[in-house]
Amino acid sequence: MRTNILDIQKLKDRGERIPMVTAYDYTSAQMADRAGIPMILVGDSLGMVVLGYDSTVHVTLDDMIHHIKAVVRGSRQALVIGDLPFLTYTTVDQAIQSAGRIMQECGAHAVKLEGGAEVAPIVRRLVNLGIPVMGHIGFTPQSVHQIGTRVQGKTSSGAARLIDDALALEAAGAFGVVLELVPAPLAREITTHLRIPTIGIGAGVHCSGQVQVWHDMLGLYSDFKPRHAKRYASLVETVEAALQTYATEVREGTFPGAEHSARMDEAELQAALSQSTAGKP
């Protein structure tokens, strides 16, 4: 049975911490699903770790649609959340169009969008139309050119604004809120004051759950390692070593071996040569 937002709320109500991970393709979705991760986010972080851009600002709705479809096909159990990319939810009508494509064309089960109280009317309308919405406050990567990449909410006014943003998202019907780069004590207070789960990334251990970017946690992205990312594997080294061995074996002629090759009856081959024009003037 596919996880839904009611199941996610039950985890929060039972005090069970909620793991979430990003995934961007069919095989990674299969792995996340088999590992028992209940929520997969197809984040617009794919702009950096998959498409090689310097920020998420370049990611289009069509880019997202392409990857969300693959993740939905690869997963059976997890709730799949598709990110709404930059400038695809500037009005309620545009948000309905964009979220509608993510739900209908891709088969995603929820969308995520960045922003606090200012996006609450959009969240409310999407939720009223039957689209589950996850909020995202703190460091919001789509605003990187305005706010840089620093921790948000360190001053009393900034912290109060984040608390009010979280409450506004909950009141608008969001089923969860990502807290990115928020001081741990503030994330704890927000989590305490919300009924819905908070999902932290760089927001300390007191959130209801955590999210990590696939390539960061598996050591697959070597351009940059965020401080909040923990490497559970170092796959860059593993993959590069495998590729070097492959290249060596091809150069030496030890790959492919007989077990990787199809056999043919020698008499059939000789007959083919005599029937063909090969070697004939």
Instruction: State the binding site for 3-methyl-2-oxobutanoate.
Output: 44-45, 83, 112
211 or 218, CB closer to ligand KIV? 211
What is the set of active-site residues? 180
Give the range of 43-51, 92-100, 187-195, 222-230 binding ligand KIV by CB under 6 A.
43-51
Binding-site annotation, residues for Mg(2+):
44, 83, 114
Helix H, strand E, coil C: the string for 111-165 is: EECCECHHHHHHHHHHHHCCCCEEEEEECCHHHHHHHCCCCCCCCHHHHHHHHHH
Do 107 and 32 touch, CB atoms closer than 8 A?
Answer: no
205 or 271, CB closer to ligand KIV? 205
CA atoms lying within 13 Å on the CB side of residue 224: 12
Which run of H or of E encompasses 216?
helix 214-217
Map the footprint of ligand KIV across residues 167-196, applying CB under 6 A.
Answer: 178, 180
Do 217 and 229 touch, CB atoms closer than 8 A?
Answer: yes
33 or 180, CB closer to ligand KIV? 180
Please pick, from the candidates 38, 43, 82, 176, the single residue that binds ligand KIV as defined by CB under 6 A.
43
- Determine if 22 is a binding residue for ligand KIV (CB under 6 A): yes
Closest distance to ligand KIV from the beta carbon of 251 (Å): 39
Distances (CA, A) of 254 to 3, 107, 243: 47, 45, 14
User: Could you tell me which residues are beta bridge partners of residue 138?
Assistant: 180
Tokens read off for 188: 């704890």
Taking alpha carbons only, the member of 258, 232, 229 closest to residue 45 is 229
Angle at alpha carbon of residue 254, lines to 252 and 258, rounded to 5°: 155
Closest distance to ligand KIV from the beta carbon of 93 (Å): 24
Alpha carbon distance, N-terminus to C-terminus of the chain: 67
Closest distance to ligand KIV from the beta carbon of 45 (Å): 3
Residue nearest to ligand KIV (CB): 43
Closest distance to ligand KIV from the beta carbon of 20 (Å): 8
Closest distance to ligand KIV from the beta carbon of 120 (Å): 19
Map the footprint of ligand KIV across residues 205-244, applying CB under 6 A.
Answer: 211, 213
Q: What are phi and psi for residue 215, nearest 5 degrees?
A: -70, -30
Map the footprint of ligand KIV across residues 78-137, applying CB under 6 A.
Answer: 83, 136
Applying CB under 6 A, which residues contact ligand KIV?
Answer: 22, 41, 43-45, 83, 136, 178, 180, 201, 211, 213
